[in-house]
Amino acid sequence: MTTIIIIALFLLQIISFYFIALLNMKLSKYKDLEDRQEQTMKEIEESFSAYLADMKDENDRLLYELKENSFVPPLKEHASAQEEVSTTIKNDIDPSFVLSRPLVSKHKVANSYVQAASLPEIKQPVTMKEKVLYYSEEGKSPMEIAKLLQIGKTEVELFLKFK
């Protein structure tokens, strides 16, 4: 009787070692998958940071060049520009090189670039619900919104009620 119990315990121990080995293999597969995903995330993050650094360097270089080359030509009246064209034609210089309007200074261009970069991007409404809420924030009545969007007044009121 004791031999049967010992053999049963021995078999149960072998089966338990088999299940432990199976669980260990599954766990190692999940760890490998997790490591690969983490490596992919690091690569993506590094590529994004490199791209952003390149963009920042290009923007800084552009601003530097605009500040370095900020030449402001004197503003001329339209009549004086016509006189200049006539004198250049007399001097046999190609009239296509003469500007008929004043140049914008590079300093102004740089300032407008900096201002445009600092402005937040205005998000345009895409879905019907966003459009209804947008027009509602502008102060339009549900009837006006329904006419603008060509939908029913009840639908507009439902969008406004469940926003």
The verdict on pTM exceeding 0.85 is no
Cβ neighbourhood burial of 98 (10 Å; 0-12, 13-18, 19+) = middle
The Cα 145–Cα 157 span in angstroms is 10
Q: What is the reported pLDDT for 75?
A: 47
Q: What is the reported pLDDT for 53?
A: 86
Structure tokens at 84: 């200049």
Q: Which of 116, 134, 117 is nearest to 125 (CA)?
A: 134
Instruction: Find out whether 159 and 129 touch, Cβ atoms under 8 Å.
Output: yes
What is the block-wise mean pLDDT of the chain (163 residues), using blocks of 10 residues?
94 96 94 92 88 87 80 49 53 52 65 70 78 91 92 89 81
Q: How many residues would you count in the chain?
A: 163
Give phi and psi for 75, each to the nearest 5: -75, 135
Inter-CA distances, 103 with 27, 47, 117, Å: 69, 40, 23
Q: What is the reported pLDDT for 77?
A: 47
Q: What is the reported pLDDT for 54?
A: 86
Q: Which of 106, 111, 85, 108 is nearest to 96 (CA)?
A: 85
Q: How many CB atoms lie within 10 A of CB 14?
A: 9
Q: What is the reported pLDDT for 103?
A: 61
Given the structure tokens 């009246």, which residue do they identify? Answer: 77
